[in-house]
């Protein structure tokens, strides 16, 4: 009877480990936010759950918060602003996509009343040399526009370098969050 009990426990543990490896390898990944570029949406040290499977079944959407491979050593977390074919411009601290003003309500509560814009004026062509976001590329910005290393500096992100969509901020528990949309 004891052998059966140990076998059942061992089998349960092995199945749990196999499922954890499967989820971690193919479906979800855990990431730690490093830096202030996504403040106030995400803070330095936040732990995130990234859905790696979602973009196999649906397209990357504007305003999704994504993790992508910036280099072989580093992954970045940013917000998608421009999709392929988009013309992007910032004028008077307002976002224009394809010549239409687009709201970013997630930024409103965090604008400082210091007389300085949250986002300096730019056109896509000024920062990338392109008039439109090329096919297979994304234009990304950090929510902390004043202190973000993003597409304004390193150019477009190749859609194939996207690891996944940030679905959950789970640490610290006091900042538990599930939605990071406009």
Q: Which residues are the active-site residues?
A: 37, 78
How far apart CA 89 and CA 110 sit, in angstroms, is 21
List, as one string, the DSSP characters of the chain.
Answer: -HHHHHHHHHHHHHHHHHHHHHIIIIIEEEEE--SSTTTTTS-TT-EEEEESSHHHHS---TT-EEEEESSSS-EEEEEEEE-TT--EEEETTEEEETTEEE--GGGGGG--SSSS-SS--EEHHHHHS-SSPPTTEEEEE-SSGGG--SHHHH--EEGGGEEEEEEEEEESGGG-B-----
């Amino acid at each position: 009877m004891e052998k059966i009990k140990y076998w059942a426990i061992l089998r349960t543990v092995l199945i749990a480990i196999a499922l954890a490896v499967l989820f971690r390898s193919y479906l979800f990944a855990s990431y730690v936010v490093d830096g202030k570029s996504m403040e106030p949406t995400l803070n330095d040290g936040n732990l995130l759950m990234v859905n790696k499977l979602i973009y196999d079944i649906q397209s990357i959407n504007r305003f999704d918060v994504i993790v992508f491979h910036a280099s072989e050593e580093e992954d970045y977390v940013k917000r998608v602003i421009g999709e392929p074919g988009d013309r992007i411009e910032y004028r008077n601290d307002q976002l224009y996509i394809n010549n239409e003003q687009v709201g970013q309500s997630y930024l409103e509560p965090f604008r400082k009343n210091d007389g300085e814009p949250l986002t300096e004026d730019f056109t896509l062509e000024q920062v990338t040399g392109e008039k439109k976001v090329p096919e297979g590329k994304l234009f990304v910005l950090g929510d902390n526009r004043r202190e973000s290393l993003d597409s304004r500096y390193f150019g477009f992100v190749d859609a194939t370098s996207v690891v996944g969509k940030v679905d959950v901020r789970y640490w610290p528990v006091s900042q538990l969050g599930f939605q990071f949309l406009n």
